[in-house]
Amino acid sequence: MKKLSLVFLILGISLLTACGGGNDDNADKKEQKETSKNTEVEKNNAKKPNSKENTDKSTEKAQEKTEDTPEKNEASIKNEQPNKEETTQKAETNTEKKAVPAASSISLTTFNQSTTLPITGGNVTTVYNSTSPKMFFFGPLNITISKYKVESVVGSDKQIDAYSPESYLGRRDGYVVTLDVIIQNTTNSTISYKADHISLNGKGISKGGSLENFIPVDKQLNHTSVVFPGMTKQEGYVTYMLNNEDYAKLKQGTTITANNPNDFNSPAVKGTTKGNITVNFPISK
């Protein structure tokens, strides 16, 4: 019996010891879990401030970009403006280069020889002349008056065919204005132009010209044809007959007008400057 009692006592003590150890293990495990949770919470809390800092930094960078943008835009605009001005200047320079007066192949000596006197006779004198070129730049077709002169006709004494327009000055005193005209077609296509429509304008008066009156055959502009072939330059005279009354009106603030080439072409010539061109054109001292 004593032996059995000892056995039961030992077993009881062993059981109690085992139960106590299990509780300790469970407690340790609980403490470890709580410690792990606390550690994770602390880690998460530690991460959150960093996220805020990153957000703040991103916001600051965005603000800096926003503040910098107007300055950069202003700088860009300033940089672009000179480029636009340079482009405009280049375009104007190119236009100026294109608008150079054409060189005449008729010498001043030849031009100054009167082609009026052999027809009218009488007293023919040059009362005004100019070698200052007048330019009518239309683009595809350009006109240059390289020089011009004004002759006075007094006491015509030669017989002029009554059917000839030149007989107008055979019956009265007057004036002949002669232009040395050069017409350039800068395109590859033919362009029509009526040079006799270039008009002299004065106080309440306007006069058209002629491609034949008092003009030798070898000085007729484009052989009096109105069709100018592509890429050609034609030169010749255009004349105006005036009586004394007309001259008195014209010499007051004289201008000369060249019609737009599109007045004589259908369809219109592409690239042609719009409108007619008028320039000052003094015919008296």
In a domain, 193, yes or no: yes
User: Using CA atoms, how far apart are residues 219 and 182, in angstroms rounded to an integer?
Assistant: 11
In a domain, 285, yes or no: no
In a domain, 189, yes or no: yes
Contacting residues for 83 by C-beta, under 8 A, at least 6 apart: none
CA 114, distance to chain mean position in Å, is: 44
Q: Which of the four pLDDT bands, split at 50, 70 and 90, describes residue 99?
A: confident
In a domain, 3, yes or no: yes
In a domain, 173, yes or no: yes
Mean pLDDT of all residues in the chain? 80
Share of the chain above pLDDT 70, in %: 66
- Say if strands 134-137 and 141-154 run parallel, antiparallel, or are unpaired: antiparallel
**184 near 102, Cβ under 8 Å?**
yes
Listed residue (103, 141, 138, 108) closest to 126, CA to CA? 108
Between 68 and 253, the more confident residue is 253
- Shared domain check, 88 and 35: yes
- Shared domain check, 155 and 26: no
Token digits for 59? Answer: 């916001």
Domain final residue, candidates 46, 69, 98: 98
- Mean pLDDT of the 201-222 span: 97
Helical H segments across 178-234, by residue range: none
Mind listing the pLDDT tens digit for each residue in 110-159? 999 999 999 999 999 999 999 999 999 999 999 999 999 999 999 999 99
Range of the domain at 165: 108-280
| Domain total of the chain | 2
Q: Can you give the pTM of this predicted structure? A: 0.68
Listed residue (274, 271, 181) closest to 228, CA to CA? 181
- Shared domain check, 148 and 243: yes
- Count how many residues are written for the chain: 285
Q: What is the pLDDT of residue 6?
A: 55
